[in-house]
Amino acid sequence: MSFSIIVHQIIILGFLALIGVVATKLKVITEEIKDSIAKIVFNITLPALIITSVSHVELNREILFNSVLVFFASHIGIILLYFTGRVSRKLNKIPGKKGNIHLIHTMLGNVAFLGYPLFSALFPGGEGLLYAVIFHLTQDIYIWTIGVFEFNNTGNMKFRESLRHLLNPNTIAFAIGILMLAFGIRFPENIYNPISGLGKTTIYLAMLYIGAVLARNPMIAAFRKREIYILIFNKMLLVPFILLMLINIVSVAFNIHIGDIAKTVVVMQTAMPCMAMVVVLAKKFGSDDLHATENLFVSTILSLGTLPFIYYLIQIF
């Protein structure tokens, strides 16, 4: 698999996001349409993509073993991001609501809206998406526990209420897909084809949504904010590199081999730009949604360079 593949995919995704930006500026995509796109992706096309991709993976012992390793590596990556965000917030004296956003955005990445389309294109056949979903589900645990705890400095959602969000169309689709995979159940072709085709629209709708979010506010001033670059360095370069080194060290020290696709997915999911949903949550909890939008904007733009670089590091290490 050549380095040029991911560069090509990132350029495609960037172009699709640019279409979303232009469409929003021209008022083709309004605020209401943007929110509707997010609902369609989250409730319809993403579940369709997950269930058709996961259920059609050719299951073997290696994939099962890699899935377990990805689950544990995902926790390690997210915990590293969390503590890096805490240290960074303290050392750089980022106060109040902005500090909360700094920490949460360091911990949480755009692993669904950007990760799913990317790994579906990079690794046709569903194996890459399977690992991406495992990382996403792991991240969801932290969103609705630690994430809500941090937001509750300015919000009022109860912890028990936050846990309900762990049950959603995507987790349900993943559970169904895993059960179908485990018992060798396959959709009939006349059902699989339309559901699969619907799932494949995720890449286009998700990138239109990201473009629409980026076009919300004039963001040129965000490029002059030092704390955003600190966040990006920690989240999209430093921690993914540390995780990559840890995986390699553990593999050598304990003779535990993780597959190339699994390692690539878990490290690159850790390196994803800031999570788009944090902007929505920041607004819901009365936090600094403008700063969250700035983080999302700058990190997504710079990911066009950082993601290929991380992929390159994975290949050489």
By residue count, the chain amounts to: 317
pLDDT for the residue numbered 159: 56
Q: Mention every residue, 6+ apart, whose C-beta is less than 8 A from residue 105.
A: 85, 231, 235, 274, 275, 278, 292, 295, 296, 299
pLDDT for the residue numbered 153: 60
pLDDT for the residue numbered 239: 98
pLDDT for the residue numbered 150: 84
Please give the Cα distance from 166 to 162 (Å, whole number). Answer: 8
pLDDT for the residue numbered 274: 95
pLDDT digits (tens, 9 = 90+) for 240-253: 999 999 999 999 99
Ranges of the chain with pLDDT below 50: 1, 155
Please report where in the chains the tokens 């509750």 appear, as a residue: 152
pLDDT for the residue numbered 297: 87
Percent of the chain with pLDDT over 90: 52
pLDDT for the residue numbered 59: 80
Please give the Cα distance from 314 to 291 (Å, whole number). Answer: 31
pLDDT for the residue numbered 33: 94
- Residue 214 near residue 296 (C-beta atoms within 8 A): yes
pLDDT digits (tens, 9 = 90+) for 183-214: 889 899 999 999 999 998 988 998 898 888 88
pLDDT for the residue numbered 268: 97
Structural domain containing residue 18: 3-316
Please report where in the chains the tokens 């998700």 appear, as a residue: 206
Residue from 83, 91, 88, 87 nearest 107 by CA: 83
pLDDT for the residue numbered 237: 98
> Total structural domains in the chain?
1
CATH number at residue 218: 1.20.1530
